[in-house]
Amino acid sequence: MALLVMIDFLAAKTISSSHRKKILWFGLFSGWAVLSKYQGIFLWVGALIYILIYNRNWLKEFTLYLAGSYYGNFAAPHLGMESSE
């Protein structure tokens, strides 16, 4: 699911509200992907490389960073960032 959503919003020349919603879904789906397998990290690596090379307008979008925080919340337990009691 994350890959399908990523392909849909990255190909956009102009960023609309539907693309903003799709990047938030991408953050959620890629977070779930990293919970099941570490290869889910490569979804973000690929998306960021594409954004840096072809469409830097996404770097101005707050939703990209919000989706990254969704992803980070799911990836934190795997990176040893959980709180210890």
How far, in Å, CA of 59 to CA of 67, rounded? 12
Q: CA-CA distance, 33 to 19, in Å (whole number)?
A: 20
How far apart, in whole angstroms, are the C-alpha atoms of residue 1 and residue 13? Answer: 22
Domain limits, the chain: 2-10+17-76
Please give the span between the terminal C-alpha atoms of the chain, in angstroms, as a whole number. Answer: 35
CA–CA dist 21, 69 (Å, integer)? 15
Q: Which residue has the tokens 């099941």?
A: 36
pTM above 0.75, yes or no: yes
Q: Tokens 């020349």: give the residue.
A: 13
85 residues of the chain, pLDDT tens digit each: 888 888 888 888 888 898 899 999 999 999 988 888 888 889 889 999 999 999 888 899 899 999 999 998 888 877 665 555 5
